[in-house]
Copies of this chain bind each other. A is one copy, B any other.
Amino acid sequence: MSFTFNVLKNSSQTSARLGKININGIEIDTPVFMPVGTKATVKALTPLMIEETESKIILANTYHLVLKPGLEVLKKFGGVKKFMNWKGAMLTDSGGFQVFSLAKLRKINDDGVEFSSHIDGSKYFFTPRSVMEAEHIIGADFIMCLDECSKHDASYDYVKEAMFRTHKWAKECKEYHDSTPNSEYQYLGGIIQGGMFDDLRKESAETLVNMDFPFYSIGGLSVGETPEQMHEVLSKVMLYTNKQKPRYLMGVSEPRDILNAVMEGIDMFDCVMPTRNARNGEAFTMNGIVRIRNSKYRMDDTVLEEDCDCYTCKNFSKAYLNHLDKTHEILFPILMTIHNVRFMQRFMKDLRNSIENDVFSDYRKDMMNKFY
């Protein structure tokens, strides 16, 4: 098993780049979007449908999987990919983000974080080592270090303290992971923190780059800051990352944010938004969002997006989708999710083509004008 990353082309006017990941035999063109399959399923899609969107890699959440179905089940099945029958690549987060956003009664110290399940209140203690052990059992191709994600309006002192803890945990995760046979087929990413503070972001990036992870993620963004703040943090922190490695921006799928982040050199993205908003009736198209619940679509015989090649757009009208929503039919989230995930992959492909042809800046402006 193996992991390689090659930058195939650099944009001449921006830091955008085209790349190719080869992870355990699976090829992934970057920049790449990873749909989220939180609890061992990308909501409303069969694995076959995920494949048909041309998604090569999906994300699952360690926090949720530890709670349900639990590590005992996943161990028996040889990991979550076999459990859910997903044949593509997978990345798991460390659960850190969910512990700090979902779980209750958190107690944090330098050893780890104690929390109560948001489902039944039962207690868990996540440490760098226990998270590595969990991610080893879950068995994704890419795994992440335990980190502490500060709120976007946290104080400098708190963000600094959390950053130091994140670095300590990163070191412990890496040392433990590298000592196990799993390091031969699971690849551990370091998470850069530091909030909205330039000096902390620089320090975090440099510290983690020195630890020599196979890839890096930028954590602590998409947590409530404005798109401009996000872009500004990225434009600075990316200078201190390692250009030979894939760089992953967690929790982002808004086209504006993806375009800005790719401009700064980000290679990987994930977010629940395309799937969640699909279920809430928002279809993404190259010309912006279609809110299919609007009664103006009741008699509309056009498809969501004329140029889209997804199963939904090849077969069903807006009127039919509007009807399925009004009648609360299960087919509604299915067809909407197929479209939105396929939209993301079409968008990423267009974006990659624009880098290939060195017209990324034009593409970015054009897409911003069309979408917003």
Chain A interface residues (CB < 8 Å from chain B): 39-41, 43-48, 68-69, 72-73, 76-77, 83-85, 298-299, 301, 311, 315-317, 319-320, 322-324, 326-327, 329-331, 333-335
Contact check: which of B43, B47, B83, B329 meets A319 at CB < 8 Å?
B83
Chain B residues within 8 Å of A320, by CB: 40, 77, 83-85
Chain B residues within 8 Å of A333, by CB: 330
Contact check: which of B43, B69, B83, B335 meets A46 at CB < 8 Å?
B335
Contact check: which of B47, B311, B323, B331 meets A68 at CB < 8 Å?
B323
Contact check: which of B77, B299, B316 meets A73 at CB < 8 Å?
B299
Chain B residues within 8 Å of A44, by CB: 330-331, 334
Chain B residues within 8 Å of A45, by CB: 331
Contact check: which of B68, B72, B319, B327 meets A39 at CB < 8 Å?
B327
Contacts known (A41-B324, A46-B311); A299 close to B334, Cβ less than 8 A: no
- 21 CB contacts below 8 A, A to B, read A39-B327, A40-B320, A40-B323, A41-B331, A45-B331, A46-B311, A46-B331, A68-B326, A68-B327, A69-B319, A69-B326, A73-B298, A73-B319, A76-B301, A77-B317, A77-B319, A77-B320, A83-B323, A85-B315, A85-B316, A334-B334
Interface contact B73-A323, CB-CB below 8 Å: yes
Extra A-B contacts (17), CB below 8 Å, given A68-B326, A73-B319: A39-B323, A39-B327, A39-B329, A41-B324, A41-B331, A43-B329, A43-B331, A45-B331, A47-B315, A69-B322, A69-B326, A72-B299, A83-B319, A83-B320, A83-B323, A330-B333, A334-B334
Q: A323 CA to B41 CA in the complex, in Å?
A: 10
